[in-house]
């Protein structure tokens, strides 16, 4: 009789322990699934620069945008405003001399696991892209507007402000979506510091840095060449204009 009771108790204990283990396993699996769901890319990256702390205004042209026209390429003070993945691709084909891949220009490239269906251009879209390429060919000087620029405090030895961002790091490459098309600057390190000799300007910038203020920057560059095997557009930096949080000019640096 006692043996039966012991067997019954042992069986109940075994069942209870098994149930507990199963509950723990279920919780663990649910947690993993939850984390996986959070980590899985779900949104598009069309409107985000390739590097978080580097340039790129949000892309304003979607793949099948029916409003695509010549005004997609805007001019500011004679400079072509490069602010979208579409225009980056347009500029690449304007200077690469390779056959234009209209579908690649129009198709957005996202972080989605399943890539979007390639957009097949119609005759009107091809015509507009051809027009944009012709405009790009006549405007090799471009303007890229960059937000969220951080500086280090004034360095008395070099008499300059170091640019903290990866913006002018050697080898840094940039893009507006997840496509293979990107761009980079020649001799970018020459702009990694901004010289300043005016004591009032130095004090103003140092004060902004101390208050954790970030700046914006206008980058003026000239199309140098393309690298076909990398699908890269290469720019020769000409000038950078640093602006404060109100958008006012603080200091500028011109290529020597």
Listing DSSP states for 208-246 in one string gives HHHTT--EEEEEEEEEEEEEGGGTEEEEEEEEEEEE-TT
Residues 178-225 have pLDDT tens digits of 888 999 999 899 999 999 999 999 999 999 999 998 899 999 999 999
Lowest mean pLDDT among 47-51, 100-104, 195-199, 214-218: 47-51
DSSP-derived 3-state class of residue 6: helix
Question: Rounded CA gap, 131 and 85, in Å?
Answer: 17
Residue with tokens 């051809």: 130
Q: Which of 1-5, 12-16, 196-200 has the highest mean pLDDT?
A: 196-200
| Residue 8: strand, helix, or coil | helix
Q: What pTM was estimated for this model as a whole?
A: 0.73
Residues found in the chain: 256
Q: Is the pLDDT of residue 250 over 50?
A: yes
Average pLDDT of the segment spanning 69-93:
91
95: part of which helix (H) or strand (E)?
helix 85-96
pLDDT band with cut points at 50, 70 and 90 for residue 52: very low
Q: How confident is the model at residue 17 (pLDDT cuts 50, 70, 90)?
A: low
- Looking at residue 166, its pLDDT comes to 84
pLDDT value at position 114?
79
Rounded to whole angstroms, the Cα distance separating 32 from 30 reads 5
- pLDDT average, residue stretch 146-172: 91
pLDDT at 177: 82
Average pLDDT for residues 20-38, to the nearest whole number? 42
pLDDT higher than threshold 50 for residue 62? no
Burial classification of residue 21, based on how many CB atoms lie within 10 Å of its CB (0-12 exposed, 13-18 middle, 19 or more buried) = exposed
The Cα-based distances of 106 to 84, 89, 177 in angstroms read 11, 9, 12
Phi, psi of 147 (to 5 degrees): -105, 170
Mean pLDDT of the chain: 79
**Residue 63: DSSP 8-state:** T
What does the block give as tokens for 79? 């400079």
């Amino acid at each position: 009789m006692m043996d039966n009771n012991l067997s019954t108790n042992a069986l109940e204990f075994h069942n209870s322990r098994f149930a507990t283990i199963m509950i723990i396993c279920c919780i663990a699996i649910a947690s993993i699934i939850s984390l996986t769901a959070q980590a899985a890319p779900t949104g598009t990256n069309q409107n985000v620069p390739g590097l978080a702390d580097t340039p790129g205004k949000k892309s304003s042209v979607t793949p099948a945008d029916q409003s695509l026209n010549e005004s997609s390429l805007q001019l500011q003070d004679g400079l072509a405003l490069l602010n979208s993945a579409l225009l980056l691709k347009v500029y690449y084909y304007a200077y690469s001399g390779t056959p234009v891949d209209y579908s690649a220009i129009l198709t957005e490239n996202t972080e989605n696991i399943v890539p979007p269906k390639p957009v097949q251009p119609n005759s009107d879209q091809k015509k507009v892209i051809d027009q944009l390429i012709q405009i790009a060919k006549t405007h090799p000087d471009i303007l890229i507007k960059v937000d969220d620029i951080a500086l280090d405090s004034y360095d008395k030895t070099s008499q300059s402000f170091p640019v903290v961002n990866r913006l002018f790091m050697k080898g840094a490459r940039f893009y507006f979506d997840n496509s293979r098309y990107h761009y980079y600057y020649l001799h970018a390190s020459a702009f990694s510091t901004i010289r300043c000799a005016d004591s009032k300007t130095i004090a103003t910038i140092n004060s902004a840095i101390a208050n954790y203020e970030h700046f914006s920057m206008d980058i003026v560059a000239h199309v140098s060449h393309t690298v076909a095997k990398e699908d890269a557009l290469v720019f020769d930096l000409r000038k950078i204009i640093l602006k404060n949080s109100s958008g006012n000019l603080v200091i500028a640096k011109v290529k020597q």
